[in-house]
Structures are given as C-alpha cells and as structure tokens.
C-alpha cells in the first residue's frame, strides 16, 4: 500500500489512539480532526451507525478536500431493545462514561437476559467515492464494573471471546484483536485500495 493521508472525523482521543495503533504499520498517516481547528464537530443525526459514520466523513471530506475516515460506534443491549445504540455517547445528561455505566447498571439490575454487542461502523469518503461497513463483538453485560483499560462501556462488557474478563481488563493488543473496531478495521485496507 502506498503512503496516504486520512483525516479521522472525530475528536474522540480514544478512537484516534485505537485506530492509529491499528494503522501504525500500514503506511497510512492518520490526521486528527484537531489539525483543522476551524472545523466544528461533525454532525451525527442519522438513525443508524453507518449513516452517522458517512455523515461525519462526508462533512470532513467536503471541508478539507482530504480523504476522511469516520467511526460511529456504540453498545446495543438486547434486553433494552438495542439501547443505547446510536445514543451511546449521550445516554445521560452528563455525557460521561461514569454516568452512562451507572445508568446501564441500574437499567440492567435484576435482568436475566444480558446479551449485548458493540458495533463500530467505519466510513471512508474521498473524491473517488464512499464506502461504509461495520464490525461487531458479541458479549454480555456484567453485573459490576471491572477494569481500568479502554474507555466508555468497556468495564461493563464481557466479550464472548475473552471468558471471565471485561473489555476494560484486556490489554490494548487483546482488545484490538477482538473488538468491534478491530473487526471493522480489517476491511479498511480494501477500502483504502479502492478509494485512495
Ligand atoms: P460516537 O462518538 O457517537 O461514535 O459514540 C461512541 C460511544 O459509544 C462512546 O462514547 C462510548 O460510549 C461507546 N463506545 C464506542 N466504542 C466503544 C469501545 O470500544 N468501548 C467502550 N465504549 C465504546
């Protein structure tokens, strides 16, 4: 793959770190949105993850003229009808992981059916076209928070592929190997090949 530049259409430092880590050996330079301080936060008003990712990537591509990559992700809890879903970040007025995880513990208190998944939609938009796709990781909602790694709902999520551990108890490399973002990023080289 030839060296390329991509703007990440997000101000989320955790996403930048995880995607940057997974692109480290690809020859692709990932520029943070903060490199364009005049740009406002991209909108995300679509009803689904792919729609939001495309909306954010288009917004940045149209304003920078550079190929843009966006991540829209969240947690779907089956017993809560798929909530918090696309509202994962802003599920509580505090817009904080602490408040969101406290709400998740409350809503899931006494609930037997605890299946859930993390979803990550990625969208790549360039002058050659656009593409959106998703990765998922299946698991269960924990009874209590555990672990200090990762971010967001990680301390409350028990991935099927890491028995007995929450996502926040995995090392960065262990999380990358199974996470929704890691799964979605496996398709990125093909999208880069087609669109950059
Ligand atoms: P977005 O910035 O609108 O895509 O919102 C993403 C939100 O989903 C984050 O603020 C977290 O609450 C949650 N989320 C996404 N990915 C992860 C993850 O890898 N671990 C834990 N929570 C995540």
Reported as a single tens digit per residue, the pLDDT across 164-187 is 999 999 999 999 999 999 999 999
- Cα 64 from Cα 70, distance rounded (Å): 14
pLDDT averaged over every residue in the chain: 95
In angstroms, what CA-CA distances link 162 with 17, 65, 134, 140, 191?
A: 22, 41, 21, 11, 29
Nearest CA to 55 out of 36, 68, 39 is that of: 68
pLDDT of 117-165, one tens digit each? 999 999 999 999 999 999 999 999 999 999 999 999 999 999 999 999 9
Atom of ligand 1 nearest to the CA of 180: 19
pLDDT at 3 over 70: no
Whole-model pTM over 0.85: yes
**How far does the centroid of ligand 1 lie from the alpha carbon of residue 153, in Å?**
7
List of domains in the chain: 5-195 (3.90.950.10)
Pocket of ligand 1 (CB under 6 A): 12, 44, 72-75, 88-89, 100, 118, 150-154, 179, 181
Residues marked active site are found at 72
């Amino acid at each position: 793959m030839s060296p390329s530049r991509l703007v990440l259409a997000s101000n989320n430092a955790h996403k930048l770190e995880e995607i940057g880590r997974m692109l480290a050996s690809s020859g692709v330079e990932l520029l943070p949105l903060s490199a364009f301080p005049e740009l406002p936060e991209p909108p995300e008003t679509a009803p689904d993850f792919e729609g939001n990712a495309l909306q954010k990537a288009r917004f940045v591509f149209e304003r920078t003229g550079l190929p843009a990559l966006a991540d829209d992700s969240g947690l779907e809890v089956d017993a809560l009808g798929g909530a918090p879903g696309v509202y994962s970040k802003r599920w509580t007025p505090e817009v904080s992981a602490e408040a969101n995880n406290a709400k998740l513990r409350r809503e899931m208190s006494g609930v037997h059916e605890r299946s859930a998944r993390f979803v990550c939609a990625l969208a790549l938009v360039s002058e050659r076209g656009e593409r959106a796709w998703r990765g998922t990781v299946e698991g269960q909602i924990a009874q209590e928070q555990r672990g200090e790694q990762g971010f967001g709902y990680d301390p409350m999520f028990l991935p099927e592929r890491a028995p007995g551990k929450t996502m926040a108890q995995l090392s960065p490399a262990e999380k990358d190997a199974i996470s929704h973002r890691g799964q979605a990023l496996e398709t990125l080289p093909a999208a880069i090949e087609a669109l950059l």
